[in-house]
Structures are given as C-alpha cells and as structure tokens.
Amino acid sequence: MAEMARELGKSVLKGENITKVFGYGKTRTEAVKKVNFDFHEGEVISIVGESGSGKTTIARMILGLITITEGTLLFNGQPRDISSGKKRKEYWKNIQAVFQDPFSSFNMFNKIDDLLLDCINMTGGKHKSDKEKFDMMTEACSFVNLKYAELTNKYPFELSGGQMQRLMIARIFLLKPKILIADEPTSMVDACSRATILDMLMKLRDEIGMTIIFITHDIGLAYYVSDSVYIMEHGAFVEAGPAEDVIIHPKADYTKRLISDVPKIYGEWDLSTVG
Amino acid sequence: MLRQIKEAFRNPKFLVGFILFVLLLLMAIFYPMISMYEPLTYYATSFEKPGTYVNILDIANSEGVKLNVDTAAGRLDSVLTDDQKETMKDWLVRFGGVEESAIDLEDSESFLKLWQDNYDSKNPQKGLRTADKKAVARLDKQLTTALNSDSIDIAGKNEEGELEVVKSIPGDHFINAGSVGNSYTFPLGTDNFGADVLTKLTSSIRVSLRIGLVAGLIGTAIGLTIGLLAGFLGGWVDNFLTFVTNIFTVIPSFVILVLISNAVSASARGATMVSVIIGLTSWPWTARSVRSQVLSLRGRDHVNLSKLSGHSMPRIILQDILPYVASYVVMAMILQISSGILAEAQLSMLGLGPNTSTTTTLGIMMNWAQQYSAMQSNSWWAFVPVVISITLITFSLNLMNTGLDQVFNPQLRD
Ligand SMILES: Nc1ncnc2c1ncn2[C@@H]1O[C@H](COP(=O)(O)OP(=O)(O)OP(=O)(O)O)[C@@H](O)[C@H]1O
Ligand SMILES: [Mg+2]
C-alpha cells in the first residue's frame, strides 16, 4: 500500500510554515507552530498526537473553517483561495470531513433525509427526479450497511452514535470528494463500530481513490491504515514519513513513547510481526 | 419543536400559567365588548362603592309588594356608619350604664333595642361638650325617622301650585330591584372620574397586554438579531455590537426609558409609541445571552458541517443556530412581555405613560388612584383590582416561563 502511494506522487495539499494563534495577550495560545506537510493524491495520511496537540486545529485550517494565522497552503499546487463564498463552495466540493463527535455533528432539528438531499444537491443533482434521488440515498445507506427505508423521516437523535458516524460516511459517499479529513471518527463509538467504520472508510477510498487525512491519537491504528504518518506534539510535527519508517524506526523520543504506550492498550500488538 | 410544545402542555406549571393568561386575555378582549359602559366615560361622582344603583324616583313610582319581615335592623345598617355606631356604643357605656361586653355591634337588632331602652336626651351626660350632646341627639332623631315603619307620603305640586299628596309609600313594601326602570350596576364601583372600574380595568388589561406584547416582540427581535450577528460573525462586528450593548447595559434601561418618554410630547405618546419605547430599551439583556450562546454554537461541528455543505451564512444562522436558541428566546420573550407591562406601569406612575385622555392602562389606573388618594379614602375598588390584575398577569407569565424552563432543561425538574 505504502509503495503505491509514493508512486502516485502528485501533491494535492502542501502546507508551508502553517501557524495558528488563538487569542492575544494573556490568552494567546499558539495551537499550531510552523508545520510543513505534503499530502499526495490517493494517499492515506495519519496525524498522530495526544489530546490538545493541535490536530483538530490543523484539520480546521485545511478545511477552511478557521483562518490560517501564518503560512501558505497549496491546493493542487496553487495557493488555496477561499476568499469568496463561491470559491469556498468550489473548494468544499473537493475536500470534506467526518468529525470526532457524531452527536454534535448533526443538526438535531433536521431530518436525516435533509442531510442526504443536501449532498445530492451540492454535487449538481438538484434537477434529478425524486426516484433518482431516492435510489442514490438508498445506495449510499446500503454502502454503510444502513437501510434508508428505516431512516427516512427520522431525526439524528433517534440513531446510535455508530449509526450516526456511518451516516456521515454515507454523506461522503454521495459527495465523493478528492480529499477527506477524518478527525478521530472512531473515538466516540464502541470497538465493534470502530472496525466497521474504518473498513467502510478504506472501502470508500478504494472505490473513489480519494486522499484521506486520518487524525488519531492511536499510533497503532495509524500504522494499520496509513501510508504516511505525521507525529504531532505541542502544535509541531516532531517526526514524519512513511508509516513503517516512523513506527519501526522511530527517531523522536515522543514517537518512541507513543509506541511504547501501545502494548498496554492492545495486548496483541507486536512490532516483530511488522515487516 | 412540536415535541417540546406537546411536553410544555403536559407541564403543570406551564399549563396553569397558560390557562390563567388565556382567561385574563379572554376577559380583557370580551368584557369591554359586552359591557354597557365605555371605559373613558364618566357615569357617576367619584369613588362610588361597588353595587347596583337604582333610580329613587323610579322606586317611588313603582308598586310595591308587602313582605312580612322585620325591616328595622336593615334600615339601621343603611343609616348608620360604623363611626356613628361607635359613638352610640361609647355613649351607652359612659352614660347609659350598659356593660361594654353586653354590646354587640354586629347584632343590629339587639343593639338597636339597647339604644332605645337606655338613651335619654335628658341624661346630664357629664363630661360631654354641648356640641357632642347635640350630635348624639341628632343621631337619635335620625334613627327614629329612619326606623319609622309607617308609610311616608310623597307630595307634589298640583295645577294651582299647591302641595298635595301624590303617593303614599308603606314602610313594609318592597319592589324587585330588577324591575326598576333605571338601574345601573358597577360591579367594582366607580373610579375618581366616575367611570365604571370593571370596564376600565378590563380595557386597561387589554392595552397593557398589548404594550407588553409589542414591547416584548420588539425587544426580543432586536436582542435576537444583535446577539445572532455579534455571536456568529465575530470580529469587528462583534466588537462594535458588544460595545453598543454594553453602553445600554451600563445605563439602567429605566433611565433611558424615562429620558426618551420625556422627550416625546404627552399627546404623541399613544400606547403603541410607549410600547415601542419600552421595546427599544429592553433588548440588551437578550442580546448578551443570545450572543454568548451563539458563540459556543458556532464552533460546533454541525455548523462546520453545514458550512462544508456549502450553505450560505443566512441559512446557517436560520437553520443551524436559531433552532438551538429558540427555546431560550421564547422564554426570554415571555419575561420581556411581563417586564414590559411593569415598565409601562412604572412610567405611568411617573406621569410619563401613554396619553391619559385617549387610552387607559393598568399603570394609568394606578396613577389616578394614587393622585386622588383612593388609598386614604378606603376606596379599595379603585386600586386593589388593578394590583391583583398586574400580579396575576406577571404571575401567569412567570409560571409559563418556569414550566418552559423545566421542559427545555430537564435537569431542572424536581
Ligand atoms: N477556538 C479556540 N480558541 C482558543 N484556543 C483554542 C481554540 N481551539 C483550540 N484551541 C487550543 O488549541 C490547542 C489545540 O487544540 P486542538 O483541538 O487542535 O487539539 P486536538 O489535538 O484536536 O485535541 P483532541 O485530541 O482532544 O481533540 C488546545 O490547547 C486548545 O485549547
Ligand atoms: Mg480534536
């Protein structure tokens, strides 16, 4: 998998000295400090770090949800321009996200159908017939092992956390973006749903060939799913590179510590099997 | 939302408050319609007691029915005031040799008997001034006349201008009050101008509720808009709007209210104008709390997701922010309606309320009652119903608010 990704080569997102500062004066926090990265087409990238290390902040800057205090972000080799509503909309056709907490990702006042219809409309399906829209929604739901017929006319709070997160993936299935940022999509669901959701993300990647930026605090998970790994500590990348290089031959102390913490959680984790 | 509305009506506090409010509203809307009086027309002299007033000439002209009942006690009550009874009691104890414990002012019949048995105008009455002696004697005479159960002759002038008996009214005859030609009932008496208090009161409730409603709507609309924009847009818009809000918060809104009301001439101050003025000064509180709620909402992932779905800013505010603050806004508005009604009452007490010649409000009624010393003259009907109405309105609104609070924030439920 890793070899394949490096062959793809073409850079889709490139960050140079990206910095984010929140607040000023006494409340000033530098959440992200001069980070550099280069994400390629079709690649699965993991950003690994502890809570509060700035992972979500990077994700939001890349998504264009918050401003970048300093630095340049190149999208497809060009400086990203989201200065107008129209340009933002165009950008978001290319880049989408699945968030950490499914319970706060949904508008509780809107029906599930509204969410899925929005995706169809956004990708130019506004003029499709009701039947076509229905088929698309059914297909998207069955991709994530949900039955549209059981979800129609329901509100998000009538679903479980795992079902909600799967619905978020169904949304990505309909949108088919070039880049997906998955910000700890499995940290709030049970272990069983976690495996299913990861499976579905990988299946989706294979199907539409998108770049996935996978954010996690779990280095074991990062190893299994990704081609490249970025290790983040206190707002900066301390180590980056192909997954096996970083995890089998870690250079930074912080990475070593992260790896040594893993066996305590996963008994079966064994680095000797890696190769 | 529908679910919460249903739940609200299952909440006992909300339900009681709502029913109370609707009853007040219905009374305020319909009573002035069915009442035979106009709220601002003067029908009587000032502060007449609650009751039915029948025309004396009509009674004199009516044919009576003889009833076999004792009329003395009833007459005594209608003729003597409580003060006069006290004077008589005092006399009986000091000069009539009656034990104080033997006198019961409530039992008119036995009291009357005691008086007739023991009063003697020839009694030396040591220690009493001549004027007081004469006053007691007059009282006795008044009693004797009133208690006369013989008939009274009514005289009128004939064609030659001489007096002759036209009619004789027996002392034991009655007529049905409903059959008297001219009879007027003032269930809550009349106010200082002689207007019917009940009609004026219901009409005042209507105007006061309208003032509260308009003021609440305006205040909430402004507060909501400013709070939404400041909280969602952030940056210099937030800084500017927060600055303005802070200015309005620092200066007590009542001071601004008084200043604006003063600037508008009394004749231009209609009920609507006053409610607009109240609404314009009551928004900062709502604006602040809406802003802080929006501030925490705008970073939520469902808002981020909505942005990623390409929704426009107005749409995000209306669909992803507003529903989340709606329950709070409804509650804030209920409180603003109630404080708007109180603000009008306060303004009117200062003489800065709506123009008194064209409209009447609860505050105006309070103001007149105070200016004409209704409290000192024991004319309770001119102000007690007004106070009760204001209390009931604010009580019902606050009850609804508490109920809604329990529905929207279930952890508050006990
Ligand atoms: N809107 C904000 N205003 C001020 N500080 C913020 C804001 N968002 C994040 N921060 C700060 O930036 C730092 C990084 O936060 P971030 O959410 O990116 O961490 P994270 O790595 O995603 O953590 P977690 O694993 O818990 O999600 C934290 O110290 C946080 O307090
Ligand atoms: Mg995070």
Q: Indicate whether B372 belongs to any domain.
A: yes
**Residue predicted with more confidence, A23 or B220:** B220
**Residues B76 and B211 reside in one and the same domain:** no
CATH number, residue B261? 1.10.3720.10
pLDDT band at residue B239 under the 50/70/90 scheme: very high
The whole model's pTM is what? Answer: 0.79
| Cα–Cα distance measured from residue A275 to residue A124, given in angstroms and rounded to the nearest whole number | 45
Residue of A82, A84, A101, A104 to mutate when probing chain B, most B C-beta within 10 A: A104
Burial class of residue B258, CB neighbours in 10 A (0-12, 13-18, 19+): middle
Which residue numbers of B have CB closer than 8 Å to A's CBs? 1, 300-302, 304-312, 319-320, 323-324
User: Would you put residue B196 in left (φ > 0), alpha (ψ -120 to 50) or beta?
Assistant: beta
Q: Indicate whether B298 belongs to any domain.
A: yes
Residue B138: what residue type?
R
| Cα–Cα distance measured from residue A166 to residue A168, given in angstroms and rounded to the nearest whole number | 5
Residues of chain B positioned with their CB less than 8 A from the CB of A105: 301-302, 305
Residue B56: what residue type?
I
- Any B CB within 8 A of A186 CB: no
| Cα–Cα distance measured from residue A45 to residue A215, given in angstroms and rounded to the nearest whole number | 8
The parent domain of residue B277 ranges over: 2-43+194-412
* The domain boundary residue, chosen from B122, B153, B184: B153
Residues of chain A positioned with their CB less than 8 A from the CB of B300: 104
Q: Among A125-134, B210-219, B354-363, which range has the highest average pLDDT? A: B210-219
**Residues B124 and B271 reside in one and the same domain:** no
**Residues B347 and B216 reside in one and the same domain:** yes
| pLDDT tens per residue across span B40-68 | 999 998 899 999 999 988 888 888 888 88
pLDDT band at residue A13 under the 50/70/90 scheme: very high
The answer to which of A76-80, A261-265, B97-101 has the lowest mean pLDDT is: A261-265
CB B308 within 8 A of CB B300: no
**Residues B120 and B214 reside in one and the same domain:** no
- ipTM of the assembly? 0.89
**Residues B236 and B366 reside in one and the same domain:** yes
Angle at Cα A201 formed by Cα A200 and Cα A204, nearest 5°? 85
Q: Indicate whether B146 belongs to any domain.
A: yes
**Residue predicted with more confidence, A249 or A272:** A249
Q: Indicate whether B186 belongs to any domain.
A: no
Question: How much is the pLDDT for B107?
Answer: 79
A6, pLDDT greater than 60 = no
| Cα–Cα distance measured from residue A107 to residue A114, given in angstroms and rounded to the nearest whole number | 10
Helix, strand or coil, per DSSP, at residue B375: coil
Domains contained in chain A, CATH given: 44-260 (3.40.50.300)
**Residues B306 and B407 reside in one and the same domain:** yes
Helix, strand or coil, per DSSP, at residue A61: helix
Phi, psi of B63 (to 5 degrees): -85, 125
* The domain boundary residue, chosen from B88, B121, B153: B153
**Residues B110 and B32 reside in one and the same domain:** no
Q: Closest Cα to residue B203, out of B40, B28, B34?
A: B28
Candidate from A89, A99, A118 with C-beta closest to B301? A99
Residue A5: what residue type?
A
User: Which is it for strands A95-98 and A179-183: parallel, antiparallel or unpaired?
Assistant: parallel
**Residues B73 and B119 reside in one and the same domain:** yes
Q: Indicate whether B55 belongs to any domain.
A: no
Please give the radius of gyration of chain B, using alpha carbons only, rounded to the nearest integer.
Answer: 32
B74, pLDDT greater than 90 = no
User: Can you point out the beta strands (E) in B15-97?
Assistant: 51-54, 65-66
| Cα–Cα distance measured from residue A124 to residue A102, given in angstroms and rounded to the nearest whole number | 26
Candidate from A99, A101, A122 with C-beta closest to B309? A122
**Residues B11 and B74 reside in one and the same domain:** no
B231, pLDDT greater than 70 = yes
B362 token code pair: 């609860």
**Residues B253 and B323 reside in one and the same domain:** yes
CB A57 within 8 A of CB A66: yes
Q: Indicate whether B189 belongs to any domain.
A: no
Find the A29 Cα to ligand 1 centroid distance in Å: 9
Looking at the structure of chain B, the number of domains it has is: 2
A1, pLDDT greater than 50 = no
